[in-house]
Amino acid sequence: MKLHGIKVPHKKNTAGCKPVRIPVPERVVIPMSMHIGKLAKVTVKKGDELKVGQLIGEADGFVSSNIHASVSGVVEKVDEMVASNGSKVPCVIIKSDGKQEMYEGLKAPDVKDFQSFVQAVKESGVVGLGGAGFPSFVKLGVKDLSKVEAVIINAAECEPYITSDTRTMIDKSDFVFKGIDAVRKFMGVKRFIIGVENNKREAIEVMQKSAEKTDDVEVHVMPSIYPQGGEKVLVYNTVKRIIPKGGLPLDVGVIVTNVTTLAFIAEYLETGVPLVEKCLTVDGSAVKEPKNVIAPIGTPIKDLIEGAGGFKSEPAKVLYGGPMMGIAVPSMDEPVLKNTNAVIFMDEKEATPPKTTPCISCGACVSHCPFRLDPREISRAYKLKDAEALEALCVDLCMECGCCSYICPANRPLVQTNKLGKVMLREYLNEKKARQEKENKEKEKKEAKK
């Protein structure tokens, strides 16, 4: 099986830019949903004085994540905010005192075994920092460690513009390998694979130099074909294993973790400072001086642009993440999140979508889809509201990478239709399940009467 993809412009303008720390913002807005799973439970109230690293949101469920104050100051309000996906989520607004005093209760965790290692990762509040936002302690908390044959470290960073992971490999290579040491020690893993695209020469050299000191770490250099960083794509292109539909990497014997996530875990084990700030790329056609910056979580994205020399033109669209899979934000008051690896500011020319014309049935979308889905047929089924056809076409396998839309000569919004098709299928399956449950209950009642 050969997985496909597309060539995209790299635009790695900031690969050589060491991150700069921006001034502490006047206030931060920290939502209780910066991860996949259940919302964190707010643990503070208006008027509470806080210091950096103090718990303000507690993981409220198996798949959830702790959240900590990113600035010192006072809780101005516990409120609701509209997230970029349109949902309302609780948030904590902290007015900064500018001092950035650290919480006295912070200390390096006492890690002695696998259980205490997973607990430390949970307490750190770290999630997948490559964009997915899955709580890391859940991913690492494997019930049967004998199933883990290898850990694949995702350093592909295949989206245009984004270079924050690149800077982790260059600037924090020691923590990347200390993270590997911790996983090796407490999880007993015997093989590590760093998957990185070949357009990151300096980072590759640094990783290879460090890997030479070990006998269980390999740097797997891959062609720069988008979307190499997709989990299923990365697993196939590194170990030639196919994750089954609805399955997880562990089903084929591997765990996949982002390189910056791993480096952060190592840093937390040394310092005890939880996830309170992010290194992210600030770039795009509207930005005067593209940079990598370090900002407290919750910083309004409008504050980032000052660290990049301001705008050279008025932004028409702003994205969390890269131009392929990024999410447009409704306002520049939206905050930096745990999994924000870039904010891209586009000028009007870059942000204006091209004119759509009718499909010419060229099949480019099919031949370039990493999973060989058929966006043409998915689009047709969606328009016909045929949920059964969407299920048969496996629309739920779509990773929303955007290859189909990018390669389409008719400029059709195929990935957007796929997203809508997934929603339609989900609603159909939920309704189908509810009907089945109702029928089963009625059947049980009739049998009970007999």
Phi first, then psi: what are they for 104, rounded to 5°? -65, -25
pLDDT at 17: 95
Task: Give 57's DSSP letter.
Answer: E
**CB contact at 8 A, 285 and 350:** yes
Residues 152-183: b if buried by 16+ CB within 10 A, e if exposed: bbbbbbbbbbbbbbbbbbbbbbebbbbbbebb
Rounded Cα–Cα distance for residues 10 and 322 (Å): 11
In the structure encoding, which two tokens stand for residue 427, read together? 């609603």
Rounded Cα–Cα distance for residues 212 and 219 (Å): 10
* Cβ neighbourhood burial of 301 (10 Å; 0-12, 13-18, 19+): buried
User: What is the identity of the amino acid at 315?
Assistant: P
Rounded Cα–Cα distance for residues 30 and 228 (Å): 31
pLDDT at 83: 80
**CB contact at 8 A, 55 and 66:** yes
**CB contact at 8 A, 75 and 30:** no
Rounded Cα–Cα distance for residues 326 and 26 (Å): 27
Residues forming a β-bridge with 73: 50, 96
| Distance, CA of 91 to chain centre | 20
**CA distances, 151 to each of 230, 284, 326 (Å):** 15, 33, 26
Phi first, then psi: what are they for 358, rounded to 5°? -60, 150
Residues forming a β-bridge with 52: 102
User: What is the identity of the amino acid at 259?
Assistant: V
In the structure encoding, which two tokens stand for residue 163, read together? 């270079």
Question: Could you tell me which residues come within 8 angstroms of residue 424 by beta carbon, excluding any fewer than 6 positions away?
Answer: 382, 385, 387, 390
Q: What is the pLDDT along the chain (450 residues), one digit of tens a residue?
A: 455 789 999 999 999 999 999 999 999 999 999 999 999 999 999 999 999 999 999 999 889 999 999 999 999 999 999 887 778 999 999 999 999 999 999 999 999 999 999 999 999 999 999 877 899 999 999 999 999 999 999 999 999 999 999 999 999 999 999 999 999 999 999 999 999 999 999 999 999 999 999 999 999 999 999 999 999 999 999 999 999 988 999 999 999 999 999 999 999 999 999 999 999 999 999 999 999 999 999 999 999 998 788 999 999 999 999 999 999 998 999 999 999 999 999 999 999 989 999 999 999 999 999 999 999 999 999 999 999 999 999 999 999 999 999 999 999 999 999 999 999 999 999 999 999 988 888 888 888 876
pLDDT at 2: 54
Phi first, then psi: what are they for 50, rounded to 5°? -130, 155
**CA distances, 10 to each of 15, 134, 214, 390, 442 (Å):** 10, 26, 31, 33, 58
Phi first, then psi: what are they for 224, rounded to 5°? -85, 75
Residues 19-56: b if buried by 16+ CB within 10 A, e if exposed: beebebbebbbbbbbbbbbbbbebebeeebebbbbbbb
